[in-house]
Amino acid sequence: MRIGATAAADPTARTAALLDARAAALAARKAAQEQPVETAAYLVCACGPERYGLPLAAVSGIDPGRPCTALPNAPPALRGITAVAGLIVSVLDLAACLGLDRAQDEAGGGHMVSLRAQDPPVALMVDRAVGIARIDAGLAQPSDRGALGRTPLLGYAPPGSDRTGDVDEGFSLIDLPALIARFMT
């Protein structure tokens, strides 16, 4: 029913027309809100007070931290090597790779994040695996790659950007190929 002069004469008809118009407006608004949004999944890890996101597609597993065999003349960020599932894996300390102070001792502790499709196999030591966050894919594709300097950071997911609601804090997005290339070449 149309809201107009004829509906004004009958209060019941006017009320019904107003309710119908409001229901149609709410239905249209809800349909517009339900547009699918492309998301990207990240494993959020803690390094001291900082939070960093690793692309979940690049993670093959998470294990408790373990001692590593040190390698002579290795950079400080390379903790050493260890065996994971029968493979010898190079272990990088994520905090040291990013120039942060190490919160965990060298003997172990924290979590070891094994990475997929690396040759040689690589794992990252972190203080703690916090959880999995799904963020808008646009946050993972910065428009200006040079804005963050030569660091292996892609961008930043602000607090509340996790669409699952599991990770409340904001976190920096790690560019894994750039990070690994600095220490494994």
Cis omega (within 30 of 0) on the bond before 67?
Answer: no
Question: What's the pLDDT at 185?
Answer: 62
pLDDT value at position 70?
Answer: 92
φ and ψ at residue 161, rounded to 5 degrees: -85, -10
Tell me the whole-structure pTM to 2 decimals. Answer: 0.73
Domain boundaries, the chain: 1-35, 39-183
With 90 as the cut, is the pLDDT of residue 18 above it?
Answer: no
125-170 pLDDT per residue, tens: 999 999 999 998 887 765 454 445 557 888 888 998 888 878 889 9
Dist CA 114 CA 62 (whole Å): 6
The pLDDT tens digits of the residues spanning 75-114 come to 888 999 999 888 899 999 999 988 887 654 555 579 999 9
- Comparing CA positions, the residue from 125, 124, 184, 181 lying closest to residue 152 is 181
- Residues 51-82 pLDDT 10s: 999 999 999 999 999 899 999 998 888 999 99
Whole-number pLDDT of residue 128: 93
- Classify the C-alpha dihedral 92-74-185-86 as positive or negative: negative
* CATH topology for the 39-183 domain: OB fold (Dihydrolipoamide Acetyltransferase, E2P) (2.40.50)
